């Protein structure tokens, strides 16, 4: 599915409409909406491109991190596939681990995430594999990376 910058803008507006802020919970909410509405492969591009544009617009392009953005989309997708939660509050209640900003430290060494390669492109987890690691999922990620 092809997405447009306006899709990210609409999701951002929806997520920030009630809280007026965009913290970690709102990032996860936006990602959950993107995964549910567009599917995981399209959500990776939508979320990554949207965050990259937002960081650049805010004058902080260095805040964009390719591996972190993609890893979060994959984590949210994995948990969304487990339960058919119809609203984000139920999803967040069922998966509180996703509200922990440090979740990626279960899968990545800090030095790996701090590296230039991880900031600009996809890097596989180097501490532990993601819980869904199987051949089909790994192949999909490799196809997306190329």
- The DSSP result for 82-131, as a single string, is H---SSHHHHHHH-GGGG-TTGGGGTS-HHHHHSHHHHHS----SSS--T
88-142 per-position pLDDT tens digit? 999 999 999 999 999 999 999 999 999 999 999 999 999 999 988 654 555 565 5
Query: Which pLDDT band, with edges at 50, 70 and 90, does 1 fall under?
Result: low
Is the pTM of the predicted complex or chain greater than 0.75?
yes
pLDDT at position 135 is 47
Cα 146 to Cα 143: distance, rounded to the nearest angstrom: 5
14-71 per-position pLDDT tens digit? 999 988 888 999 999 999 999 999 999 999 999 999 999 999 999 999 999 999 999 9
User: Closest Cα partner for 88 from 80, 68, 47?
Assistant: 80
Collapsed DSSP state (helix, strand, coil) of residue 39: coil
């Amino acid at each position: 599915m092809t997405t447009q910058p306006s899709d990210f803008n609409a999701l951002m507006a929806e997520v920030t409409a009630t809280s007026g802020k965009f913290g970690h919970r709102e990032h996860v909410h936006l990602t959950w909406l993107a995964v549910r509405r567009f599917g995981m492969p399209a959500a990776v591009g939508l979320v990554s491109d949207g965050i990259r544009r937002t960081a650049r617009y805010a004058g902080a392009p260095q805040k964009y991190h390719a591996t972190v953005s993609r890893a979060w989309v994959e984590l949210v997708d994995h948990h969304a596939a487990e339960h058919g939660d119809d609203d984000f509050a139920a999803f967040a209640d069922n998966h509180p681990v996703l509200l922990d900003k440090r979740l990626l430290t279960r899968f990545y060494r800090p030095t790996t995430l701090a590296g230039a390669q991880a900031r600009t492109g996809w890097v596989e987890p180097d501490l532990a594999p993601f819980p869904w690691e199987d051949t089909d999922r790994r192949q999909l990620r490799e196809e997306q990376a190329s």
